[in-house]
Homo-oligomer: A and B are copies of this chain.
Amino acid sequence: MIIDIHGHYTTEPPAFHAFRDKQLAGLADSARKPTTTDLGISDETLKKSVEPQLKFQTDRGGDLTIFSPRAGGMAHHVGTEAVSRQWSTLCNDIIHRICTLLPDNFVGVGQLPQSPGVSPKNCIPELERIVKELGFVGVNLNPDPSGGYWTDPPMTDKYWYPIYEKLVELDVPAMIHVSSSCNPNFHHTGAHYINGDTSVFMQLIQGNLFKDFPTLRLVIPHGGGAVPYHWGRYRGLCQDMGKPPLAEYLLKNVYFDTCVYHLPGIELLAKVIPVDNILFASEMVGAVRGIDPNTGHYYDDTKRYVDQLKGLSEQDRKKIFEGNARRVYPKLDAILKKRGK
């Protein structure tokens, strides 16, 4: 079974964007606020909207995608906490509808109503709702709700602890995932995403978060940002700081996905990161949409790169494609077991 742990709903129907426009227009002119949260989107429209994802899933040999709202769309820096809350609820509800309509193809992961400078503990009710009521198996957690100015505390700060306590209690992992950038220095998918991954991993080296949360599981997407490429730097910094060896220190709790869009990158990832910490993902339809003229295949068809890895046992390959996902996302495993898979 091939589980893609990182897919975003990037093909929303126009009515969804129209609501967001009205919602944000309402910040400037309350007369323009949407009068209802009923988007008027039919099941048929929803199913049609995810046809691109379904086609890629089929064409590339995938089975199931862990599906979450568009990452760039979370935009926690826009508007107020109340705006973020309404928007997050709506985004999560639409993911839930898609997962209910197409349960064999999609399992849900949610976004949180974060807002810069606002305690993450305000996100607890929505976190409980998406796991307990909507059956989501994880959540995306934005380490920089300011959208590129990084004004909230590092993720090892006690500021974030209420979220971690709830994640542990619910036994769901968080994917560390920034949203769009309002800082012109950072292109969102080309810089802000990768920087977010790198920065949080380094924060985890500096802090000692997993001493307080030994069962917390964090997924660092986009192949771990710059981390595997600079694995020697991170091992060395960890050592210089008098911490335990890096793998021993962090890799019981931290996982990387395979959203790296060329074979040499995936080869490096598999060479330096233990196979138990690598989860298959493509982030389709996502950051890069074109076809690589060097290969004739989509850049984000990451399954092809994993398939080409040499010296990987079939057991290890199965871990990357399925086993690790079922271990890191136990609620996903429970769903699949219930279905006899």
Contacts and interface: CB of A to CB of B under 8 A. Distances in A.
A150 interface: yes
A70 interface: no
Nearest to A268: B268
Contacts of A288: 232-233, 236-237, 240
A216 interface: no
Given A185-B199, A189-B233, A194-B198, 10 more contacts: A144-B185, A153-B184, A186-B202, A189-B237, A190-B205, A195-B195, A198-B198, A229-B268, A240-B288, A264-B268
A154 B185 contact: yes
Contacts of A144: 185
B232 A222 contact: no
A291 B195 CA distance: 27
Q: For the complex formed by this chain, how many copies does it contain in all?
A: 2
A205 B261 CA distance: 17
A78 interface: no
A226 interface: yes
Interface string A255-280: 00000111011011001100000000
20 contacts: A143-B185, A144-B185, A150-B186, A154-B185, A190-B202, A190-B205, A190-B233, A190-B237, A195-B198, A226-B226, A229-B265, A231-B264, A232-B260, A232-B265, A232-B292, A232-B299, A235-B261, A235-B262, A236-B261, A264-B271
Interface residues of A, number: 58
A164 B288 CA distance: 31
A155 to B, nearest CB: 8
A264 B272 contact: yes
Interface of A: 143-144, 148-150, 152-154, 183-187, 189-191, 194-195, 198-199, 202-203, 205-206, 222-223, 225-226, 228-237, 239-240, 245, 260-262, 264-265, 267-268, 271-272, 287-290, 292-293, 299-300
Q: Which of A203, A230, A290: most chain B CB closer than 10 A? A: A230
B187 A202 contact: yes
Contacts of A206: 187, 190
Contacts of A205: 187, 190
Nearest to A240: B290
A289 B238 CA distance: 11
A331 to B, nearest CB: 30
Contacts of A153: 184-185
A229 B206 CA distance: 23
A120 to B, nearest CB: 15
A152 B185 CA distance: 8
Nearest to A245: B293
B223 A229 contact: yes
Query: What 9 A-B pairs have minimum CB-CB distances, sorted nearest first?
Result: A232-B262, A232-B261, A236-B288, A226-B226, A229-B229, A190-B202, A236-B299, A195-B195, A191-B202
A265 B300 CA distance: 22
A185 B150 contact: yes
A287 B233 CA distance: 8
A223 B232 CA distance: 12
A144 B234 CA distance: 23
